Structure 1
Amino acid sequence: MADGKRLIGPAGAVLLRRCADRTGLTDPLAGVLPSSTAAGWRDRAGVLVHLAIAIVLGAANLSEAEQLQLHHRPLFGIAASDSTARSMLAVLDGATLAKIAKARAKVRRQVWSLLHLRPGGFPWLTVAGKRLTGWIVIDLDATIITSASNLAADLDAWLRLLALHDIDGLANAEPDTMRFRLYHLSARLAEHARRRWLRIERTWPWATSFTTCWQQLTALPAIT
């Protein structure tokens, strides 16, 4: 929580978490990462997803990721410490990374299916009057937390394609612009009728885009 008045920031984390949930990202990761029933054990898939979210929000190291997640404790529960994240990353050997890549590919196919269901169909590109169909996927990454940063790139791209594709100024915005306009928006946490609400300042220029993004992600067909 950003202060003692239930102010949450960066509130864009709820959009990225919603995107992860609606695209079915967590379950495939849980199937390839270590698990335990020991008391105090943190679900490694959740740790990896929230680390990816922190990277999208601008975290450059594990300490910054932990600090960002502390702001979201009222929304997502107790944040994983940087030592927990480091322990999770330490077990990612070549075989596990290959399984994570396979899980990402599975979710990516699910996202493509969701895009086909969107009004207007799949967003094929047109270059010099020629429509480019088919996909060649290339992972380009230069950050120090490779597995999590690849997931971060996935989440940011999927959120744009699924929920921001028709919003000028966001659909093709640079990462820093996305953080300034959408992800770093502050919101106030309120509770009513046993439900929690994020109240967004209406005067913020991108407030409507924020709520539209949430609504479009929520309206996505459930992954089966």
Structure 2
Amino acid sequence: MVGHAGARLLADLADATGLTAAYSAALRPLRPRGTGHDPGRIATDLAVMLADGGEAIADLAVLRDQGEVFGAVASTPTAWRLLADTDERTLTALRSARAQAREIAWLQAVEQGEDIPAVRAAGRMLPGLVLDLDATLVACHSEKDQAAPTYKGSFGFHPLLCFLAITGEGLSGRLRPGNAGASTASDHITVLDQALAQIPDVHRHGTDILVRTDSAGSARRPSSPTSETYGNEKFVPPSQSDTRSPSLSATRSEPYPTVCGIPPWTRTARSVPAPRSPS
């Protein structure tokens, strides 16, 4: 038994949702002559390799050695050059490509009679999306670019990530040095804005959105730029004196049922502290 059996399905999913083609369009400036490996296929193969448990670019060999399954896979130097040539403008184009593919995937799910699962709160099923925003520590054992000592005494990175809690989709992330602050407001703003941009328009503008953070997200700055960017929703942070894990909420104008003693929400969102964990 091996853990690579479903890797081909991931590549097929990327093709079916248009992700590979969108990556190709986003990375076309890096391949001006149009020769060699398709950069969109290289990016997709790198993603499949990581999802399959790979940890380094050289792990593409697992896919490359199965040519009958994955086709022509780029060499390690070719993949390395693609990553080295990727700049901030290219990353922005790749984010747009991911958003396009996600919208197609969600529409395909609706065509199959499925939709984004509802949130369960206080025994009730409530419509809406839940975004989890949190930082994590990634240790490394050599002096890589941006690696630095962490607050826990280790060495590595301190990326900030945002996931869609209901489906587990990774919406956005920011690679940061190990000594980056857990409550850096500018990083929270950037990651949250990029995560919201990944949500298809029909859900971003017509669905209740709850953003959950731990106490590191209680800085007041994240609410202002976000509410300016997405004017239909207003994000309100919890009180900084509240030591419980806070949540930010964005709501529609329709009344919402009372849950856990919280009054109905209106256009101005309420701060909803996350429940305490059992001690």
Q: TM-score, normalised by structure 1?
A: 0.53
Q: For residue 56 of structure 2, what is the aligned residue in structure 1?
A: 61
Q: Choose the corresponding residue for 1:51, options 46, 53, 58.
A: 46
Q: For residue 20 of structure 1, what is the aligned residue in structure 2?
A: 14
How many residue pairs are counted as aligned between the two chains?
141
Q: What is the root-mean-square deviation in Å for CA atoms of aligned residues?
A: 3.3
Contact 1:9 1:72 in 2 (8 A): no
Cα 1:38–1:124 shift into 2, 3 Å: same
Q: Choose the corresponding residue for 1:102, options 66, 89, 96.
A: 96
* Secondary structure of 2:26's aligned partner: coil
Cα 1:130–1:13 shift into 2, 3 Å: closer
Q: Which has the larger share of strand?
A: 2
| Distance in 2 of aligned mates of 1:73 and 1:124 | 41
Cα 1:50–1:85 shift into 2, 3 Å: same
| Distance in 2 of aligned mates of 1:141 and 1:24 | 30
Q: For residue 31 of structure 2, what is the aligned residue in structure 1?
A: 35
Contact 2:64 2:72 in 1 (8 A): yes
Rg comparison, structure with higher value: 2
Cα 1:17–1:94 shift into 2, 3 Å: same
Contact 1:115 1:123 in 2 (8 A): no
Q: For residue 82 of structure 2, what is the aligned residue in structure 1?
A: 88
Q: Deviations over 1:129-181 (max 9, x none)?
A: 1414146486978779xxxxx9xx9xx967xxxxxxxxxxxxxxxxxxxxxxx
Contact 1:9 1:71 in 2 (8 A): no
| Distance in 2 of aligned mates of 1:141 and 1:37 | 40
| 1:70 equivalenced with 2:64 (yes/no) | yes
| Distance in 1 of aligned mates of 2:133 and 2:25 | 24
Cα 1:69–1:32 shift into 2, 3 Å: same
Contact 1:20 1:26 in 2 (8 A): yes
5+ residue gaps, structure 2? 139-143, 145-160, 170-279
Cα 1:119–1:62 shift into 2, 3 Å: same
| Distance in 2 of aligned mates of 1:31 and 1:141 | 32
Cα 1:78–1:139 shift into 2, 3 Å: farther
Identity of aligned residues (%): 26
1:76 Cα deviation from its structure 2 partner: 2.5
Q: For residue 197 of structure 1, what is the aligned residue in structure 2?
A: none
| Distance in 2 of aligned mates of 1:31 and 1:38 | 12
Q: For residue 123 of structure 1, what is the aligned residue in structure 2?
A: 117
| 1:112 equivalenced with 2:106 (yes/no) | yes
| Distance in 2 of aligned mates of 1:20 and 1:53 | 9
Cα 1:138–1:111 shift into 2, 3 Å: farther
